[in-house]
Amino acid sequence: MSEIICVTSERLGRVFRAKKEDEELKKGDKCIVEIDLGEELAVVIHSPRLACEMPKSSKDAVKIVRKATVEDEEKFRQLEKKEVKAFGFCLEKIKVRNLPMKLIKVRYFSNEKKGIFYYTADGRVDFRQLVKDLAKEFRMRIEMRQIGVRDEAKMIGGLGVCGRHLCCASFMTSFEPVTIQKAKKQRIAINPTKISGLCGRLMCCLAFEDESRGRLYADEEKVEED
């Protein structure tokens, strides 16, 4: 049975649960993992993280391909530089064509045959000419992918009001619905500035604490009745 460990990708700003086979890896070691964008450089984490502690099956864990070499590290440094260059070029073309969209991130597949350009917009955007500009400049398949404000926060990252890195940008793999009822159930003052995250939506941690706090208050009320 494969051992599940935690690794983090600095380039993507994400933590992954990964399946370790026979490869000997310890804290701080760099490795190559297989994700949806192809291969990615990651670092083994030793400190406990919620992503590793959650009792999930190995089905949601990525595969560790091998321990990273010096050549692998240099390849991903160059890949990141190319993404930064592509971001600047795309941003310039968006301004030139006056497109109503906000460019968020550029991600290249590890084989550099395809690039994904993530953006937000209030509605549909006709970016056909923009795609032609990008394909001509970078000689690869171009995908324009519209995302929401929560995905934007997950992709960019930042610090929450708690002083820690955003949950969505560190260990969360998917978003769950968060309603105002969860805040009320926890007896939290309904102040939008205090219960909203950097994305402007209700903080994800309201859902995390809902079950435990709800049980605590239910027990308190039962004691008071007795």
70-96 vs 128-138: helix crossing angle, rounded to 10: 140
> What is the per-residue pLDDT for 51?
44
* Angle, alpha carbons 149-155-158 (nearest 5°): 90
Give all domains of the chain, ordered by start, each with its CATH number. 3-68 (no CATH), 74-149 (3.30.300), 176-226 (no CATH)
Q: What percent of the chain has pLDDT over 90?
A: 38
Closest by Cα among 144, 63, 76, 74 to 109: 76
> What is the per-residue pLDDT for 220?
53
Spatial contact of 52 and 32, defined as CB atoms under 8 Å apart: no
Q: What percent of the chain has pLDDT over 70?
A: 78
Q: How confident is the model at residue 223 (pLDDT cuts 50, 70, 90)?
A: very low
- Measured distance CA(40)–CA(19) in Å, rounded: 14
Q: For residue 184, what are its two tokens?
A: 């009320």
The whole-number average pLDDT for the span 137-149 is 93
State phi, psi for 34 to the nearest 5 degrees. -100, 115
- Measured distance CA(69)–CA(71) in Å, rounded: 5
Q: For residue 144, what are its two tokens?
A: 């324009």
Least reliable range by pLDDT among 25-34, 127-136, 197-206 = 197-206
- Measured distance CA(138)–CA(129) in Å, rounded: 14
* pTM of the entire predicted model: 0.73
Query: For residue range 96-110, what is the model confidence (pLDDT) as tens digits?
Result: 999 999 999 999 988
Query: For residue range 146-172, what is the model confidence (pLDDT) as tens digits?
Result: 998 888 777 777 777 777 777 766 666
The whole-number average pLDDT for the span 185-211 is 71
- Measured distance CA(46)–CA(62) in Å, rounded: 17
The 10 Å CB-count burial string (b at 16+, else e) for 199-223 is beebbbbbbbbbeebeeeeeeeeee
Q: How confident is the model at residue 47 (pLDDT cuts 50, 70, 90)?
A: very low
> What is the per-residue pLDDT for 203?
75
pLDDT beyond 80 at 29:
yes
- What residues contact 102, with CB distance under 8 A and at least 6 apart? 119, 120, 121
> What is the per-residue pLDDT for 50?
47
3-state secondary structure 81-95: HHHHHHHHHHHHHHH
